Amino acid sequence: MDDKDQIMLESFFKQAAQQQIEDNGFTERVMTQLPDGRAERVRRLSSLWTLFCIIIGVVLFFVFGGTMVLKSAALSILQMLVTTLEVFLVTAPTTEITVNPWMLLLLMGFVLVYLPYQTARKLSSVL
């Protein structure tokens, strides 16, 4: 944007900022029509209901053995990844792949471990 446009914008907004609009008591009428604390009560009840549901969910998670389900799922995923890498490293030399499988494994480790770590670190420093 050049200086002429900038000057025109500043003059327009300067004039608009100086303009006053009479509301003839509109603001006071609106404020008298607002509900008196009912919205705050609903918001408080909503927060309490959410907290109650979270507590019940956590209790039910532990009562019905949710930790065992998560543990078995994590172990299954880890076993699947190890098996996939083992099969790849065993079969890669017998195929016509021109890439060293160990280099590919290091690259996968970089992409799956280091890059998410760096991204999370940068995001946490910004937030």
Q: What is the pLDDT of residues 84-101, one digit of tens each?
A: 888 877 877 777 767 777
pTM above 0.85, yes or no: no
Task: Give pLDDT tens digits for 19-64.
Answer: 777 788 888 888 787 777 777 788 889 999 999 999 999 999 999 9
Nearest to 88 by CA among 99, 78, 75, 77: 99
Positive or negative torsion for Cα 30, 31, 34, 40: positive
What letter represents residue 109's amino acid?
G
Alpha-carbon distance 85 to 47, whole Å? 47
Q: What are the tokens at 75?
A: 């172990």
Nearest to 102 by CA among 111, 94, 93: 93
